[in-house]
Structure 1
Amino acid sequence: MSLRIFRRWAAKLEPWVVILILLGLLGVNAHPLIDKALKAGSYAILPVLMIGRWKKWIYVATLDIPVLLLSLMPGVSAIWSTSADYSIDDFKGVLRATLFGIYLAVGYSLKGQMQVFSWVFGIGTVLSLVLTLGLPGYGVSGDFWIGIYEYKNQASLMMALAAILFLIKALNQKQKPWIFWILFSMALVQLVLTQGKTCYAIFANSLCLLPLYNSAKQKHYKMRMFFILIISLALGISTVLLINNLEFIIVDTLGKSMDFNGRTEIWTLVMDKVYERPWLGYGAGGFWTSKHALYVIHNTWAGGDGEIGISPGKALFNAHSGYLDLLAQYGFIGCGLLLVSLVTILLRIVAVSASTAAIETFWMLQTLIALFSVNVTERLGLIHYNTLWTIYVAIALSTALEHKRIANTVKGNQ
């Protein structure tokens, strides 16, 4: 009897423990002891989550081979890495984030995953507001609002993702939608306070995509094709407008210089080094911890900051672009694999949306667009050891499962 009670309580506590860990792995500005405890606990809980379900874990993990290869790449890159120890450390974190993504795909439906991340972002949104207002000096960095997160750009992305999620929930929730309207308002206000202009654009783009969901809900074949054509047209128009109005958008609207606040200088020098090892790069964590990074650091504004370097105790620099950092670490082969993965997932999302018109797949589409957009000028969540990579893996594997289920249903009805 006692064993039955223990199992029942364990089943109830499991999702809350996972939610807490996922929140912590987003990069919360917590006490170092709390951070270490969360990371240690995340490794400890994974074997427990896998007990009795390891066969299904293997089955689900192999449904998306590009994602599986991307998750293993940090470990494999230790073979050619200029800093093998850093590559192994990165691999441990990426593997953990990947396993949590597999766990979500195995244990939760698309609706269930959306619910999990509603709690993750909801807790983050509320804590950011309450703690920043209640604790003097906490949650603010200079003139920027960062809430419970470590730095401005990370906080702005979290609030953008939270606002997108809560807006979708508020518009489609039949019971107590006011809860999500409140959470949406809290996230939107904090997004503005972070002054993250890139994430302003990401959120604005998500608003433009909202009408597409109504088209996707139409079951008629022509309407499904219309939905796909509208996406293609919207992306094409957006690209043309961006290219032809780049200076106006950057200088006049976003208030930034045409060199992206010094980023283009860094990007040029990083690419010089990428071409020295173009195919496989310098390995996970290998570039910015090696002497090759000094070429970039000493020839840009980074060289004027004594805290930035490659030796122990120094803050590691980055390319201020997720894609360039991936090129430096994994070369064109790694980035090409990521592109194949993204295109595959997007095609699956469109296919699943055309069949089910589920709100969850639309949220996944919005999240993917936000994640890949922000990495133009930031490194957040691409083959990384945080919850954003967990979200990517969960989306990839969950849509693969759903797509396979739909295909089997169609095949069975024939």
Structure 2
Amino acid sequence: MKNKLLTSLLLKLEIASVIFLLFFAETVVVPDAVRTLTNILSYGIVILLVSVQWKRIAYVATTDKTLILLTIIGVFSVFWSYSLGDTVEQVRALVRSTIFGLYLASRYTPREQINLLSWVGIISIFLCTIVGFAVPSVGTHVVNGVVSWRGIYAHKQHMGRFMGFLASIFLINILDKRCNRWFAFILLLVSLILLVLSNSKTGLIVFLYPIFAFPIYIIVKQRKNRFFILLLAVLIFTIISALILVNLESIVVNYLGKDIEFNGRIPLWVSTIQEGLKRPFLGYGYNAFWTSDASYDVIRNTWLRYEDIDPDSPFQAHNGFIDLFVQLGFLGLSLFVFHLLTVIYRVVNILFMTRKIETFWMFMFLGINVLVNTSEVITFMSTNSVFWIIYVSIAFSSAVEYKQIKRVQLISSLNQA
């Protein structure tokens, strides 16, 4: 009896530790002393969790060598970094985040990972609501003359992005018969309200993405004429995309409240790429571009010159692909794009073979991650975003499951022979 109680207690402590790490993976605003403490604790917790599951983790790591190679390139960029101190400091956090994502894939199924993220979402929604109403001086800030909610996060875009992401989690719970659908629906509505209060246009797009992507899951579940239905859906999607592109200027200016240069993003992207082409193959080193003098010309020639940039919180190009390029050059960017396409291919195949709702969530997340990185902060290989941890977990989870499916198919074909 004592052994069962001890085992149960350790299991609950493990789950609490994982939720703690996922929650603080985002840019939560806390006093500096608390931030330092949570950072130290996070390293200790990850080491402890990995030490218990190291054999399983070692096996899972072999299922996706490309991602391991990409992380190694990030680590070895200390040898050509333009800002060695910043690279060394952030590389440690990169390894921690990547290993933690690997641990999640080794320890929990995709459905269990969704449950863990649901708890993180509940805690986030509760605290953002409390802080926003009770301490508006902390939970809100003025951006472009408009009061916007940021809750417990550093910026309205961070809260908006995370609330938009939670839509994919709660939507899956609404569709899953094993979950409390009404509770998930209420959480979805509250996250939408917080998203609206944040005035984050990007967050709203991220919120709508899983809702509009839902018909894809209906198509996947159809056993008969699935290819024809999918072809029809792709055709409709292409027509809608063409209409959006034709009317892009009107949509951007009138509905998203941005100019055709996306609030100065395009000049920023062009200037950043030009600087990146000065070191095209290996880049400036992981997390080294915006913390060094290399970014001076970009800041001087774009709207960044009007910003009060905190050296302890470096800026970024508002595009994950471009930021990855200036950090790790064509080598890192091409390897990541190859890996991203590989993971998408793997997840889509698993989705059609299993038709599991959790696999559909993995598919949705990959789309959300690309969407966020197209015009917002970088989450690719980022040490201050839960998105990289989830991406790593999905990459390894899908690799393990795909390998198992192929093994079963091989055994079945041999038995039939």
User: Common fold, TM-score beyond 0.5?
Assistant: yes
Deviates more, 1:164-173 or 1:81-90: 164-173
In the TM superposition, what whole-angstrom CA distance separates every residue of 1:218-248 from its partner, at most 9, and x where no partner exists?
345x42x346545644654454334322111
Deviation at 1:96, TM superposition (A): 0.9
Deviation at 1:31, TM superposition (A): 2.1
Deviation at 1:57, TM superposition (A): 0.9
Deviates more, 1:96-105 or 1:118-127: 118-127
Deviation at 1:127, TM superposition (A): 1.6
Deviation at 1:316, TM superposition (A): 2.5
| Unaligned 5+ runs, structure 2 | none
Deviates more, 1:170-179 or 1:98-107: 170-179
Specify the alignment match of 1:365 in structure 2. 363
Letter in 1 for 2:361: W
Specify the alignment match of 2:332 in structure 1. 334
Letter in 2 for 1:391: I
Specify the alignment match of 2:278 in structure 1. 276
Specify the alignment match of 1:78 in structure 2. 78
Specify the alignment match of 1:48 in structure 2. 48
Deviation at 1:203, TM superposition (A): 2.5
In the TM superposition, what whole-angstrom CA distance separates every residue of 1:48-72 from its partner, at most 9, and x where no partner exists?
2122432221211121122212222
SS in 2 for 1:298: helix
Deviation at 1:379, TM superposition (A): 1.9
State whether residues 101 and 392 of structure 2, in contact with CA within 8 Å, keep that contact through their aligned partners in structure 1. yes
State whether residues 173 and 180 of structure 2, in contact with CA within 8 Å, keep that contact through their aligned partners in structure 1. no
Aligned length: 408
SS in 1 for 2:154: coil
Mapping for residues 13-92 of structure 1, pairs under 5 Å: 13-92=13-92
- The partner residue of 1:381 within 363, 379, 382 is 379
CA distance in structure 2 between the partners assigned to 1:344 and 1:118 by the alignment: 27
State whether residues 323 and 379 of structure 1, in contact with CA within 8 Å, keep that contact through their aligned partners in structure 2. no
In the TM superposition, what whole-angstrom CA distance separates every residue of 1:278-320 from its partner, at most 9, and x where no partner exists?
1111111221122221111112222234x327xxx56522212
- The partner residue of 1:157 within 153, 158, 161 is 161
Q: CA RMSD in A?
A: 2.0
Deviation at 1:344, TM superposition (A): 0.8
- The partner residue of 1:170 within 174, 182, 203 is 174
Specify the alignment match of 2:185 in structure 1. 181
CA distance in structure 2 between the partners assigned to 1:365 and 1:85 by the alignment: 37
Specify the alignment match of 1:123 in structure 2. 123
State whether residues 126 and 186 of structure 1, in contact with CA within 8 Å, keep that contact through their aligned partners in structure 2. no
| Unaligned 5+ runs, structure 1 | none
CA distance in structure 2 between the partners assigned to 1:399 and 1:227 by the alignment: 25
SS in 1 for 2:389: helix
For the structure 1 residues 94 and 230, does the alpha-carbon distance in structure 2 shift closer, same or farther, using more than 3 Å as the test? farther
Deviates more, 1:334-343 or 1:130-139: 130-139
Mapping for residues 2-13 of structure 1, pairs under 5 Å: 5-13=5-13
CA distance in structure 1 between the partners assigned to 2:243 and 2:72 by the alignment: 38
CA distance in structure 2 between the partners assigned to 1:203 and 1:214 by the alignment: 19
2:201 aligned with 1:197: yes
Mapping for residues 198-347 of structure 1, pairs under 5 Å: 198-220=202-224, 222-223=225-226, 225-226=227-228, 229=231, 232-233=234-235, 236-305=238-307, 307-308=308-309, 315-347=313-345
In the TM superposition, what whole-angstrom CA distance separates every residue of 1:254-273 from its partner, at most 9, and x where no partner exists?
12111111122211211111
TM-score by length of 1: 0.93
State whether residues 318 and 378 of structure 2, in contact with CA within 8 Å, keep that contact through their aligned partners in structure 1. no
For the structure 1 residues 387 and 234, does the alpha-carbon distance in structure 2 shift closer, same or farther, using more than 3 Å as the test? farther
CA distance in structure 1 between the partners assigned to 2:393 and 2:338 by the alignment: 17
TM-score by length of 2: 0.92
State whether residues 219 and 354 of structure 1, in contact with CA within 8 Å, keep that contact through their aligned partners in structure 2. no
Indicate the percent of aligned positions where both proteins have the same amino acid: 34
CA distance in structure 2 between the partners assigned to 1:219 and 1:108 by the alignment: 29
